[in-house]
Amino acid sequence: MQDVSALYRQIVADPNHYFEATVVIGESGNLVTEAGDTILFGGTAIIVSRTGPDSGYAESTIFSLKTSSRMFGNEPEIGKVIAQEIELQMLQPAGEIPPMALIVPYVRACAGDLRSEWLQQGVFYIDTRQTSASYENLPVITLHGFDAALLTEQDYAETRLDWPAVDIDIVQEIAATIGVSVDSRTVDLMTDGRTFPLPTGYTLREMLGYIAAEYLGCFIMTEQGQLRLVSLLDLPKETSFLIDRNGDYITFGGDRIKV
């Protein structure tokens, strides 16, 4: 769960607060207008890199944005790698969106003239896209994607480790294989130095599942796109979550917002 600022807490305490979203697509791109047209300066397109929410598409271009994941069901589950998905419907951006391009959504709290910090809500890879009927003569695109947890559905085919290998070294190698880093909280949690034999015939996801089971937890991808082990034994005894007037948890992308 993400830490939030005092300003964020102040804003969400206002009964008239609301949330804004922005989405960054790809590693780099052009600044565009609300109509999806490329913004030019002296006849040249303005290039932006994937450095944060300021390079994203504004909420005015987004029709719907949904992320979904399920950490635990009605009963606690252990030994799994939990993948998260995203579905985004928006005005079609100018230019070509490459296959497997990244989608990085952000959200912030607003009330009156106050705006909180942007909170990143995951890193996703586009797998399908569909262009639908136009909106005011502009094309609308629907993008679906998944996070890096799904990339672990591949054989554990190559390794540089000496086996039996230590659990955290295995996790680091798997993370490197799928192109992500390991959340520091995972390193802090996995201090037992448990060893595992060479996983012949197993997938990366199965190997992570076996390691997660030893720690009574599951692996997930964090909001920043890092691999993290979440253990039932490491959950805080007392937590506070945002709730609405009916007492229901307020969620974004299926995750409860902690205060």
Tell me what pLDDT residue 41 has. Answer: 45
Any residues with CB less than 8 A from the CB of 13 and at least 6 apart, and which? none
Q: What is the DSSP string of 148-186?
A: GGGGG-SB-----S-SSEEHHHHHHHHHHHTT--B-HHH
Burial (Cβ within 10 Å: 0-12, 13-18, ≥19) of residue 126: buried
Tell me what pLDDT residue 85 has. Answer: 92
Four-way CATH pick for 6-146: 1.10.1060.10, 2.40.10.10, 3.30.499.10, 3.40.50.720: 2.40.10.10
Higher pLDDT, 249 or 184: 184
Q: pTM for this one?
A: 0.75
Mean model confidence pLDDT for the chain = 80
List, for residues 23-72, the tens digit of each pLDDT value. Answer: 888 765 444 444 445 544 444 444 444 456 665 677 778 888 888 865 44
Higher pLDDT, 80 or 99: 80
Contacts 24+ apart (CB under 8 A), 117-120: 117/4, 117/5, 117/7, 117/8, 118/22, 118/52, 118/53, 119/2, 119/4, 119/8, 119/223, 120/2, 120/53, 120/223, 120/224
**If you average pLDDT over residues 137-166, what whole number do you get?**
92
List, for residues 154-179, the tens digit of each pLDDT value. Answer: 999 899 999 999 999 999 999 999 99
**Highest mean pLDDT pick, 47-51, 190-194, 231-235:** 190-194
Tell me what pLDDT residue 1 has. Answer: 53
